[in-house]
Amino acid sequence: MFNKLQEPKENDNIDCHLQQIGMGTLICRAARQTGDETTNEVSPTICFNCSAGKIFREVGCDAVLPKIRIYPYKGGVSFNVETLFCKIRRRETTLDFCGKCGLATAETTQKIISNARGLFKAHGFYSAYKDIEKAREAIRDGNFENAVTRSISCLESVMRICHEKLGNPLPSKKQVSDLWKSTRKLLLLDELDPSGATLNLMNALSGVVSHLGGLRNTLGDVHGKGIFPPDVSENIAELAINVASTLSTAVIRRFNQIKENLPNERS
């Protein structure tokens, strides 16, 4: 029996880890083809309704490997998800089970990461997008040291790209705290509120960024791993990715404000 398809609205998210762009169309890497009876071409409607896509968007997990068949017919297509296989648990799964899985990232974290990831993609912060994806995958796989490292790298990438897009040189010192200090000045963050009420907040954020750098040096794997790696909890890994994502989002939104007011805009 084929799925009854719900049409997505214009702004509905249809992202999926199994999508790739073909010649003017979307291709599903999980689609199984049998002669002329099936196809690997998909539509936004199929991606919106597919269980694997829903797990990716709602649970924030890309460990699911489905077997899908897409049947074209005159006037449209139908699709059938034959199985959903979890490569972490190494057994079949369902959307409902994945939503309750103990390996799933917290719902609030999923939303923060999803929003940041969409912002990176929309505004061309591609290296930051890759960093946050690696951090998300590291949390999913229980590699919490790498999640800490990649989270701070994401924030660094955002600040570096802001400097490059605005044609400003990077600070001579490469510490994340120095990069934040330069970004704070570049984006006029102290002028967000003319009353000066946010100045204390900006000073506090400088401390947060500095401590994030210290966290990476102590608990991350940026300097490699010894025989006895640090014991990093999932809570710390999630805190790192949440803080880095939130700060990155604020920096990009301020960057866009500054960029719009430039007489000769740089891309």
pLDDT in tens, 223-258: 777 777 778 888 899 999 999 999 999 999 999 999
Is residue 184 located within the same domain as residue 234?
yes
* pLDDT at residue 260 in the model: 85
What is the extent of the structural domain holding 74? 19-100
| pLDDT for residue 1 is more than 60 | no
Helix (H, G, I), strand (E, B) or coil at 12: coil
Is residue 163 located within the same domain as residue 255?
yes
For residues 69 and 31, the answer to whether their CB atoms sit within 8 Å is yes
In which band, very low, low, confident or very high, does the pLDDT at 141 lie, cut at 50, 70 and 90?
Answer: confident
CB-count burial class (<10 Å; 0-12, 13-18, 19+) for 267: exposed
Q: Tell me which residue of 56, 21, 57 sits closest to 40, measured CA to CA.
A: 21
Residue 123, φ and ψ in degrees, nearest 5: -110, 15
- pTM score > 0.85 for this model? no
Dihedral sign for Cα atoms in the order 116, 117, 121, 125: positive
Helix (H, G, I), strand (E, B) or coil at 175: coil
| Element containing residue 91 per DSSP (H, E) | strand 91-92
Is residue 166 located within the same domain as residue 230?
yes
Whether residue 11 is contained in a domain is answered as no
Question: Which residues are CB-neighbours of 58 under 8 A, at least 6 positions away?
Answer: 95, 99, 110
Is residue 154 located within the same domain as residue 227?
yes
- The domain tally of the chain equals 2
Helix (H, G, I), strand (E, B) or coil at 35: coil
Average pLDDT over residues 6-16: 90
In which band, very low, low, confident or very high, does the pLDDT at 264 lie, cut at 50, 70 and 90?
Answer: low
| Element containing residue 128 per DSSP (H, E) | helix 126-140
Domain boundary among 76, 100, 124: 100
In which band, very low, low, confident or very high, does the pLDDT at 121 lie, cut at 50, 70 and 90?
Answer: confident
In which band, very low, low, confident or very high, does the pLDDT at 109 lie, cut at 50, 70 and 90?
Answer: confident
Average pLDDT over residues 170-193: 92
Region of poorest pLDDT, from 89-103, 155-169, 172-186: 89-103
In which band, very low, low, confident or very high, does the pLDDT at 40 lie, cut at 50, 70 and 90?
Answer: very high
In which band, very low, low, confident or very high, does the pLDDT at 207 lie, cut at 50, 70 and 90?
Answer: very high
Whether residue 188 is contained in a domain is answered as yes
Helix (H, G, I), strand (E, B) or coil at 28: strand
Whether residue 8 is contained in a domain is answered as no
Q: Which amino acid is it at 147?
A: A
* pLDDT at residue 266 in the model: 47
| Mean pLDDT for all residues in the chain | 87
* pLDDT at residue 263 in the model: 67
Domain boundary among 47, 66, 100: 100
Is residue 58 located within the same domain as residue 117?
no
Is residue 94 located within the same domain as residue 112?
no
Other C-beta atoms lying within 10 Å of the C-beta of residue 153: 22
Structure tokens at 264: 């000769």
Region of poorest pLDDT, from 146-150, 169-173, 194-198: 194-198
